[in-house]
Structure 1
């Protein structure tokens, strides 16, 4: 008990030692806790369910939480996030961020809109590739984008093989343009 009184006295002394202007400039601090507020809200939720004879399920709880804690224009804000989302790094990160926002949407979005939102944020070459292939669903769009991105990083293997074959030296006849298993002199 004496320790608490000493700690309180030390806090009061610290506050009193500050200049009067500095004390007024600092905003008051919230003294309650979020847990208390959440607990009060939950008690009210339970009372409302009991009063209206509604069965408390996970779905009713989620709906009540959304109604109480999400802003009224939450869906609109999510659509804005989808529009503003851009691919800055790897495609996998963009897909993950896109799906994170999409999971929060409760109002259904048409497949065409989903493709539009997804394509808008992609790098230009990937978006152009998707425009050429016309995927129907978001899953097809993501799969096609990932395949294109993987192919673009790996380079064109046909071109690389052709260039390598032009520089390849045969170990049997020492000529450039083919390798030993394909050597025409041994056939």
Structure 2
């Protein structure tokens, strides 16, 4: 009876412009991020991710969106090793055991130490958050310290002075400082520095070069036909003007 009521109340929605997240099993991918995005997608489709009646279906949906080495791993486990996965928790645990490096937390902390602001603060915040969301067993103050150390010197000095006790406060302080002192200056300056020098069209000549003049029997001075450079009337006019001066 409960299962029937659940089926009636859980009408699946269609999500325009969104598709199920994919997982490839690459070193730079995050298992936790894949699971989180999948949960959001299921919620958007009105699928109760954790309901017992949906376990088999959700596992099948997750497996169908594995790609490359992740898909090969799942195929080998199910078809060759004969180790079926019957629940979502079991699927998540197996995925982490296979694709979560044992030294991941050490790698993440090394990545945080190397993460530095190179242009505007928004770009830095985006890179920092991608790393910090995967870090575990890190206190709020440790996160703040890592964030501040990666800021540019003038911004770092200001945020450090404020003694922020949360990452959110530190990010807000850095953003407010750069808006007040630089506006869009950092990004526009970086864009100008990286962009190629614009071509000065006024310096581009459409006149024929010497080789074209030779082939087309044109005057080397005025680039017109019918005479040589020694007989060029325009050259004589220029010389006469120079003599009068």
User: Could you tell which deviates more after superposition, 77-86 or 67-76?
Assistant: 67-76
Secondary structure at 1:104 match in 2: coil
Question: C-alpha separation between the residues in 2 aligned to 1:45 and 1:112?
Answer: 46
Paired with 1:143 and 1:114, the residues of 2 have a C-alpha distance of 14
Tell me whether 1:101 sits opposite 2:131 in the alignment. Answer: yes
Q: Distance in 2 between matches of 1:80 and 1:44?
A: 38
**Could you tell me which of 74, 92, 109 is aligned with 1:62?**
92
Show the 5 A alignment for 1:20-35: 34=69, 35=71
Query: Cα distance, 1:111 vs. partner?
Result: 0.7
In the aligned structure 1, how far is the partner of 2:81 from the partner of 2:133? 25
Q: Aligned-residue CA RMSD in angstroms? A: 2.5
Match of 1:41 in 2: 77
CA distance in structure 2 between the partners assigned to 1:120 and 1:36 by the alignment = 41
User: TM-score normalized by structure 2?
Assistant: 0.43
Shift of the alpha carbon at 1:36? Answer: 3.2
Aligned equivalents of 1:47, 1:83: Cα separation in 2? 40
Give the aligned length.
116
Q: Which runs of 5+ in 1 are unaligned?
A: 1-32, 50-54, 156-187
- TM-score relative to the length of structure 1: 0.55
Q: Give the drift of 1:48.
A: 5.8
In structure 2, the CA distance between the partners of 1:45 and 1:133, relative to structure 1 (3 Å rule), is: farther
